[in-house]
Structure 1
Amino acid sequence: MTAAVFDHEGPWTEEEYLALGETQQRVELFDGSLHVTPAPTPRHQRLSRKLGNILEAAAETAGLELLEAVNVRLRPGRVPIPDLVITGPVDLDELMIEAADVRLICEIISPSNAATDKVLKMHYYAAAGIEWYLLIEQETGGLRLFRRRGRNYVEQSSVKRGETLTLTEPVQATIRPEDLVS
């Protein structure tokens, strides 16, 4: 992004946000404000790839799509970029995936923005009606699976090294923390 971006006055619209195009940073839109973070660390990306490899086969078997780092419109003006999403059939050439198409959303918790994933995004994803939310601890590979109840998430399962998370919805998969981090 260029310095001109920071000269912007007033709240950002979704159109202005999309006009930024692709950037080196992860730029998300939350209710008129941009949330900018640097590119993820190699550790984060390796974990994301390993988790994606596990979930991709499961998604394909279920007739679903696994997508990485895509714009998800939770509502107009609220567009995060989750680490991984499992969706129903979508137009792969569209700039955004609609929340209604998302079956499972995954965030890998980075130490620098843990509160965003554990509080802000969790609240926004539940309010948008996304049924399943998977949080992964970057350093340990610990997994916490949440299911939406009303406008909130309730923890369904929490696993650490030596344990296995078994997903039965929206895909069937088993995930072991030691398979994600070494």
Structure 2
Amino acid sequence: MTAAVFDHDGPWTEEEYLALGETQQRVELFDWSLYVTPGPTPLHQNISGELRAALRRPVRDAGLRVLEAVNVRLRAGRIPIPDLVITNDIDLSVLVIEASDVHLVCEIVSPSNAATDKVLKMHYYAAARIEWYLLIEQETLTMHLYQRQGAHYVERSVTKAGEVLELTEPVRATIRPEELLG
């Protein structure tokens, strides 16, 4: 993958980006440029897996899907890979999920890319009209739930270890941050 990135001139098309295929690094497309980060830590992946497990039943009961690390097209030339999404009951064979099919997007903040999740991606997800944004700080297991209001997100709740997050939209679910450690 490295040779393909450094031998490339100019902006990346979506077709070129998708042709990279699966990689060890997380490669996202932001405004026709690649954004490459190392693979997530085991702690990050454990939190993601436990959250998906906690949401699985409520999401199925609502006729939706919960998916980890999938391509989401926010607009042409902008395809991030959120840590977790709740989507409509989509075709699972597609390479890219449209933002209009996403009800909630979740990012688990890594210390090395906190600004990307807290500022850049938050702005991009709101601009794409994704209604709910769940931001989890893995170092403290603090969960921030945001709801879109116009072109921005407004924080609706902050849940710390020992407390309970009661989701009512897009699904009904109860999540305890400490249970995300497995």
TM range (shorter): over 0.9
Is 2:182 aligned against 1:178? no
Deviation at 1:58, TM superposition (A): 1.1
TM-score, length of structure 1 as denominator length? 0.98
Task: Write the distance in 1 (CA, Å) between the matches of 2:66 and 2:108.
Answer: 15
Deviation at 1:4, TM superposition (A): 3.2
8 Å CA contact 1:140, 1:181 repeated in 2: no
Is 2:113 aligned against 1:119? no
Deviation at 1:31, TM superposition (A): 0.3
Aligned residues: 182
SS of alignment partner, residue 94 of structure 2: coil
Corresponding residue of 2:136: 136
4+ long deviations beyond 6 Å: none
Is 2:99 aligned against 1:99? yes
8 Å CA contact 1:28, 1:34 repeated in 2: yes
Residue identity matched to 2:119: V
What are structure 1's unaligned runs of at least 5 residues? none
8 Å CA contact 1:139, 1:181 repeated in 2: no
What are structure 2's unaligned runs of at least 5 residues? none
Deviation at 1:15, TM superposition (A): 0.9
SS of alignment partner, residue 45 of structure 2: helix
8 Å CA contact 1:143, 1:159 repeated in 2: yes
Residue by residue, what CA displacement relative to the aligned partner does 1:137-157 show, whole Å, maximum 9, x if unpaired? 112211000000000000000
Task: Write the distance in 1 (CA, Å) between the matches of 2:141 and 2:85.
Answer: 18
Task: Write the distance in 2 (CA, Å) between the matches of 1:32 and 1:66.
Answer: 27
TM-score, length of structure 2 as denominator length? 0.98
Deviation at 1:2, TM superposition (A): 3.2
1:55-66 to structure 2, matched below 5 A, reads 55-66=55-66
Task: Write the distance in 2 (CA, Å) between the matches of 1:4 and 1:144.
Answer: 37
Corresponding residue of 2:109: 109
Corresponding residue of 2:161: 161
Task: Write the distance in 2 (CA, Å) between the matches of 1:138 and 1:67.
Answer: 19
